[in-house]
Amino acid sequence: MIDNPYYSHEFHGDYELVSIGRLDLEEGGSIPDCRLAYTTFGTLNEARDNAVLVTTWFSGTHQIWRDQYIGDGHALDPAKYFVVVVDQIGSGLSTSPHNASGDNAAISMSKFPHVRIGDDVVAQERLLREHLGIETLHAVVGGSMGAQQTYEWAVRFPEKVKRAAPIAGTAQVTPHDVLFSRSLVEAITSDPGFAGGEYTSNAEVVAGLERHARIWAVMGFSTEFWKQEVWRALEFDSKEAFLEGFLQPYFTVMDPNDLICMAWKWQRGDVARHTGGDLDAALGRITARTFVMPISEDMFFPPRDCRAEQERIKNSEFRVVDDVLGHLGLFAVAPTYMPQIDAHLGELLDGPA
């Protein structure tokens, strides 16, 4: 276990931390005491049918959903919906390699077991049912790895999911995504300070974390983002300043093992595991009204890949979000981004299932 101050209420505001008990994992092994961090907004109605689950992406937590996506005036309106954001396993807030202690001491750091997207969804379903009394979801919404979890929910628990909005992600990871995330992981693990995952502080791996951030710069934003110098809107005066003042610090505070735990999941997200590898059959299980929402300039979850999946989902629509930022448009930086998200999500959430 490592004490990393980034993963705290100071940096992430209010959240609950609840144990769902022992979680046996798809790949074998288990998390003896699986704790999930989550936040809620709004009130569960008497019929218990207005809950919207939000899942989180690689390196992201409930924080960005709270700050950018949820609130009065947004589709995710707490006046209408009981919004539950659950931080994924490995996020650093829920049980993760760096914080495994007590009953989880045996799986600390490099000994943390491999977790699957499916494990997250099983854990989330248990949290919702046993701790929040939620049996069905008005909707599941998530971006990137959160979209992977959204698809997993819709395929694994079709009777529980009425609506689904996978944003900038796919149901089945692509080989290109596997290669991209592998390069991200290698930027970290190749740092001698990583020490096979047994560093004593993330500061020892800062060089690797910075290289990791700079590979995100290449793939996370679009070629046009850099060409148009969109970072100027964030009040930086050079791309170097943007890297050093935003993208590198964003990642260097994080825990290397936690990032690697999430990347391992990302590389293996695949709903076709439920159907012997048959993606058509897996997507055919989805009964949720589904809006597939890629970002136009996404370099690694390109609209083309999302389209190929949307066409296999019965009750679905293809809604492209135009954003020159590319994948990291998810940060909701462009003033034109949230209005599109809210328009699509609002139509989905407020419409029939």
Residue numbers annotated as active site: 144, 298, 327
Distance between CA atoms of residues 145 and 181, nearest Å: 12
1 scored as a contact of a second copy (CB under 8 A): no
* Binding window for a second copy (CB under 8 A); candidates: 90-98, 103-111, 123-131, 216-224: 216-224
By CB under 8 A, residue 176 contacts a second copy: yes
Under the criterion CB under 8 A, does residue 219 sit at the interface with a second copy? yes
Q: Is 182 in the site for a second copy (CB under 8 A)?
A: yes
| 27 or 229: CB nearest a second copy | 229
Considering Cα of 312, then 264, then 333, then 228, what sign does the dihedral take? negative
Q: Does 199 bind a second copy (CB under 8 A)?
A: no
- Considering only 16, 186, 204, 244, the residue that binds a second copy (CB under 8 A) is 186
The enclosing H or E element of 143 equals strand 139-143
Regarding 68 and contact with a second copy (CB under 8 A), the answer is no
Q: How far apart are CA 281 and CA 271, in angstroms?
A: 10
Report the SS3 class of residue 330. helix
| Binding residue (CB under 8 A) for a second copy from 138, 156, 160, 211 | 211
Residues 301-340 that bind a second copy (CB under 8 A): 302, 304-305
190 scored as a contact of a second copy (CB under 8 A): yes
Q: What whole-number distance in Å separates Cα of residue 23 and Cα of residue 122?
A: 9
Which residue among 135, 224, 347, 350 contacts a second copy (CB under 8 A)? 224
Least Å from the CB of residue 66 to a second copy: 30
Q: Roughly what angle, to the nearest 10 degrees, separates helices 145-156 and 256-266? A: 50
Q: What is the DSSP string of 246-308?
A: IIHHHHHTS-HHHHHHHHHHHTT-BGGGGGTT-HHHHHHT--SEEEEB-BTT-SSS-HHHHHH
In the region spanning residues 233 to 262, those forming contacts with a second copy, defined by CB under 8 A, are: 239
For the chain, where are the alpha helices, taking DSSP H only?
A: 9-12, 62-64, 117-126, 132, 145-156, 175-189, 206-219, 223-227, 239-242, 248-252, 256-266, 279-284, 303-310, 337-350
> Interhelix angle for 145-156 vs 117-126, to 10°?
60
Least distance to a second copy from the beta carbon of 166, Å?
Answer: 17
Pattern 260-299, a second copy, x by CB under 8 A: ---------------------------------------x
End-to-end CA distance of the chain: 44
Shortest distance, position 331 Cβ to a second copy, whole Å? 18
Query: Does 63 participate in binding a second copy (rule CB under 8 A)?
Result: no
In the stretch 120-159, what mask flags binding to a second copy with x, by CB under 8 A?
Answer: ----------------------------------------
Q: Per the structure block, which two tokens stand in for 71? A: 């609130």
Phi, psi dihedrals of residue 238, rounded to the nearest 5°: -155, 160
Question: Is residue 17 involved in binding a second copy (CB under 8 A)?
Answer: no
Rounded to a whole number of angstroms, the minimum distance from the CB of residue 270 to a second copy is: 14
The span of 80-88, 104-112, 185-193, 268-276 binding a second copy (CB under 8 A) equals 185-193
Q: Look at strands 316-318 and 289-292 and give their pairing.
A: parallel
User: Which residues sit at the interface with a second copy, rule CB under 8 A?
Assistant: 174-176, 179-180, 182-183, 186-187, 190-192, 207-208, 211, 214-215, 217-219, 221-227, 229, 239, 299-300, 302, 304-305
